[in-house]
A = this chain, B = another copy of it.
Amino acid sequence: MARILSLREAVAELVHDGDTVALEGFTHLIPVAAGHEIIRQGRKDLTLIRMTPDIVYDQMIGAGCARKLIFSWGGNPGVGSLHRFRDAIQNSWPVPLEIEEHSHAGMANRYAAGASGLPFAVLRGYTGTDLPAQTETIKPIECPFTGERLTAVPAVNPDVGIIHAQRADRAGNVQMWGITGVQKETVLASARSLATVEEIVDELEPVPGAVVLPQWAVTAVAEVPRGAHPSYAQGYYERDNSYYQEWDPIGRDRERFEQWLATEVRGAERSAR
């Protein structure tokens, strides 16, 4: 039941101003092209969720798409800070950015609860840290059998969950392998979902370690070769490490960033097919 759409159609149809949107991919298979399409279509007031906001979220935040970020680690991995993210938090540029901050364990469990149709998850987490004082979505909970005190976090149920995968078949069954992070949970927790894929094939040959999302659990599939660049797609292309390095000076400077936006995203047609 997943419909095969172009990236442009899919984003136009699935992502609306004000939506809660999660783009997931843990280092691997980051749905960067979909993020750029959201910028290109000028979405705003989004609540963006992502465990590890990195370059693509820096770009979306810098482009003014987001009013809130829910996350657990925000940085340019191996390089340094996200300067657009900092500029938004510290100087409200281009728009103010609210944050809701968790740990990875907490976020992973929030997605798992969302995928499970539960309002919350229980974990051993955050104990003794300063996070619960800053984040309302972290609360204590008591075991009804032992009386032990643990931590509860609410489910996340995005309006739209977006992932990138290696392949889909023509019916829209989606297959990904290698590090698959929290992507299954993201799709299952979301009201609507989009999987961009490297290619659409006639048949999904089984692959060791692969996760398959059946077509009836995905709203739309869009074929976007290199859609995870500068991250990587195992079996297709390697991580473009120099892009991460080169992002740093661009992200540091509002003018260079605006220029980058104009030429590389708004003026580009990566979603043409």
1/0 contact string of A128-153 vs chain B (CB within 8 Å): 00000000010111011110101010
**A121 cross-chain contacts in B, Cβ below 8 A:** 122
The minimal Cβ–Cβ distance linking A116 to chain B, given in whole angstroms, is 8
Contact across chains for A139 and B144 when beta carbons are under 8 A apart: yes
Contact across chains for B148 and A119 when beta carbons are under 8 A apart: yes
Contacts A150-B118, A206-B209 hold; do A144 and B141 have CB atoms under 8 A apart? Answer: yes
- In angstroms, Cα B207 to Cα A120, docked, is 35
**A143 cross-chain contacts in B, Cβ below 8 A:** 119-120, 152, 154
**A141 cross-chain contacts in B, Cβ below 8 A:** 141, 144
The minimal Cβ–Cβ distance linking A41 to chain B, given in whole angstroms, is 33
The minimal Cβ–Cβ distance linking A139 to chain B, given in whole angstroms, is 4
Contact across chains for A124 and B118 when beta carbons are under 8 A apart: yes
Range, interface on chain A: 20 to 34
Residue A201 lies at the interface, judged by CB distance under 8 Å to chain B: no
Task: Choose from B144, B145, B208 the contact partner of A208 (Cβ within 8 Å).
Answer: B208
Residue A262 lies at the interface, judged by CB distance under 8 Å to chain B: no
Number of copies: 2
Contact across chains for B120 and A145 when beta carbons are under 8 A apart: yes
Residue A12 lies at the interface, judged by CB distance under 8 Å to chain B: no
- In angstroms, Cα B210 to Cα A66, docked, is 40
Task: Tell me the nearest residue of chain B to A207, going by C-beta.
Answer: B208
Residue A117 lies at the interface, judged by CB distance under 8 Å to chain B: yes
- Residues of A bordering B, CB below 8 Å: 117-124, 137, 139-141, 143-146, 148, 150, 152, 154, 206-210
8 nearest A-B pairs in the assembled complex, by CB-CB distance: A206-B208, A119-B143, A145-B154, A139-B144, A119-B146, A144-B152, A120-B143, A208-B208
CB<8 Å pairs between A and B, sample of 29:
A118-B122, A118-B124, A118-B150, A119-B143, A119-B145, A119-B146, A119-B148, A119-B150, A120-B122, A120-B144, A120-B145, A120-B146, A121-B122, A122-B122, A137-B145, A139-B144, A139-B145, A140-B144, A141-B141, A141-B144, A143-B152, A143-B154, A145-B152, A146-B154, A206-B208, A207-B208, A208-B208, A208-B209, A208-B210
